[in-house]
Every structure is written in C-alpha cells, then in structure tokens.
Amino acid sequence: MSGGGPSAIHFAARHPQKCRSLILVSACSGTLTIPPEYQDRFEAMVKMTRLAPVRWIMAAMGRFAPERAIRQSILDADLRRRTLADPEAGPLVRALQRSTMTRLNHRMPGLLNDTASCAAIDALPIGAVRAPVLVIHGKADRVVPFAHAERIGQVLAEAHLLAIPEGEHVALFTHLGDVRAATAKLLASR
C-alpha cells in the first residue's frame, strides 16, 4: 500500500517462488514527489509534529472527532459519513486515524524516508513480476496519482486494475466491499 509499493514490487520480482500474488493498493510504482501545492503544508506538518501539545491535540481529534480528523483524506462529506458509519470500514479507518495521530512522532522518520525514497525512484522492475497482480487505485488519489496504477497496467498487460472513480488515497476503506471482492477473486484464482 502507498509507499510500500516499491518494496512489494521488488520482492515480487526478486522472489517469484515466494510470491503467490501481488496486490497493490494506492501504491507508488515510480517516481513520486510531493506536489508543489502540498509542499508547504507537508513541511509545516513535519515541524508541528515535533511539538508534544500539537501531537496531543491531533491524537484527541483522531479519537473524539474522527470525521473532522479524516476530512483531508476523504473530501466528500457523504462518503466520509458513510465510511465512518460502515460497520466494518468505520472501525478500521478510526483505528488507522488513532494509530496515525497518536504515534506521529514515531511515524515521521518513516514518512520522511518514504517521501525521499519515492522521489528518488528511477525505475522499478515491474516487468519482472510473474505473479498475478491486482492494482486497486482511486482515480481521485491526491497522494499517489492514478498514473501510478496505469503504469502497472502498461507494463503488465495481464494485471487486473480496480479503478475506483471517485476513490481517494484511502479507497481501501471508502470502497471496502469492492476491494474485498476483487481481492477474493484474485486469491481464489490461485
């Protein structure tokens, strides 16, 4: 998922005997840089997460105001409410929010590493992947553009693409039923 895409692609290419199938969700598949319109916000977030009071407020928001906390991840208000109300997706996305918000200072080094690593990608061994591939990606993803999903399909003609029309970076949660159905179909075929 996301910044783990390059590692998953490398693993599948290097170890075909150990990789039964590959599922890439909102995954980076090539060079990825922070869009200029988000660069200032990203840098401010990095600085703010160094401050304990800010981390405490963000953790409280994740716990007590999940709809407000996830507003930047799910822009559509109706979709956000439906996702949080869903008996399966709601608890999952809330748990993600809580863990993200309460451990920001621990997660930040990894996020900075992923950001630098993805920006430095020249090429990935996508063509060397022999396992069946399922690519799940929202067309409205503002973190990892949909072109990353299309790249996989251009290189691996047999890859299956689940394109989620209004899906954002968290399409895994907002479209959980579709994701589970596509994943079950891939795994059943193996």
Please say if the pLDDT value at position 113 is more than 80: yes
Residue spans per domain, the chain: 1-32+122-190, 35-120
- Give me the CATH code for the 1-32+122-190 domain, please: 3.40.50.1820
Residues sharing a CB contact under 8 Å with residue 164, sequence separation 6 or more, in sequence order: 136, 137, 138, 139, 171, 174, 175, 178
Contacting residues for 83 by C-beta, under 8 A, at least 6 apart: 74, 89, 90, 93, 173, 174
Q: According to the model, what pLDDT value does residue 61 have?
A: 77
Give all strands (DSSP E) within the chain, no chain letters.
22-25, 133-138, 160-164
CB atoms within 10 A of CB 184: 10
Res 135: pLDDT: 98
DSSP calls for 61-94: HHHH-HHHHTTTT---HHHHHHHHHSTTHHHHHH
> Is the entire prediction scored with pTM above 0.75?
yes
For residue 85 the two structure tokens come to 């109300």
Model confidence at 69, in pLDDT bands (50, 70, 90)?
confident
**Between 79 and 101, whose confidence is greater?**
79
State the amino acid at position 135 in one-letter form. Answer: V
pLDDT digits (tens, 9 = 90+) for 134-177: 999 999 999 999 999 999 999 998 999 999 999 999 999 999 99
